């Protein structure tokens, strides 16, 4: 029950942060956009079945679509990211497997693991989202660069959030 409650709180906080603050940042004239809300999908427990991760990914994206008036764009990108998460977790799985009840955080998996995990998943989301937004390939270099710069900023924010929340958890323990 605590896991469900913490994930609901994480969902609300990340969506609110995205909608109220990050979507209104004007970095490089709107060229670079951090999408921190994807951290919700990334932080889901390892043992969650694929179908529920896909459903939660779609729901997360649909919620963002509702607030940003982008019908289906975030839902599609988040669903693709949720689908890719299964393969990425399999690729990065430790020899002994993942522990039950453990979330993919810096404190449990290590900095390098989380950085690799983020560096694989975030660009998938961003590339899908930005190419869906443009919906053509004649501006491929510009769209690709925009997606990668936004992914780099998003990964940086994810690492900062991981390190800040990890320190708070250590202080409580």
Q: CA geometry: angle at 51 spanning 123 and 60, to 5°? A: 50
DSSP 35: -
CATH code (residue 14) = 1.10.1760
Query: Using an 8 Å Cβ cutoff, are 77 and 122 in contact?
Result: no
172 has a pLDDT exceeding 50: no
At 96-118, the pLDDT tens digits run 888 888 889 999 999 999 999 99
Residue 99 is part of which domain span? Answer: 2-172
- The reply to whether the predicted model has a pTM over 0.75 is yes
At 21-76, the pLDDT tens digits run 998 887 877 789 999 999 999 999 999 999 999 999 999 999 999 999 999 999 99
Query: Using an 8 Å Cβ cutoff, are 74 and 64 in contact?
Result: yes
**C-alpha–C-alpha distance, residues 110 and 44, integer Å:** 16
* Strand partners of residue 32: 27
- As for how many domains the chain has, the answer is 1
């Amino acid at each position: 029950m605590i896991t469900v409650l913490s994930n609901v709180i994480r969902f609300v906080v990340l969506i609110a942060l995205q909608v109220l603050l990050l979507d209104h940042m004007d970095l490089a004239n709107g060229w670079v956009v951090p999408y921190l809300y994807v951290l919700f999908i990334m932080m889901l427990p390892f043992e969650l079945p694929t179908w529920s991760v896909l459903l939660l990914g779609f729901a997360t994206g649909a919620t963002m679509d509702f607030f940003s008036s982008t019908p289906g764009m975030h839902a599609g990108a988040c669903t693709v990211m949720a689908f890719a998460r299964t393969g990425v977790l399999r690729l990065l799985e430790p020899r002994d497997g993942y522990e039950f009840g453990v979330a993919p955080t810096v404190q449990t998996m290590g900095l390098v693991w989380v950085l690799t995990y983020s560096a694989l998943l975030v660009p998938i989301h961003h590339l899908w989202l930005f190419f869906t937004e443009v919906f053509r390939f004649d501006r491929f270099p510009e769209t690709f660069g925009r997606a990668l710069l936004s992914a780099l900023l998003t990964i940086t924010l994810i690492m900062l959030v991981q390190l800040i929340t990890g320190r708070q958890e250590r202080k409580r323990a």
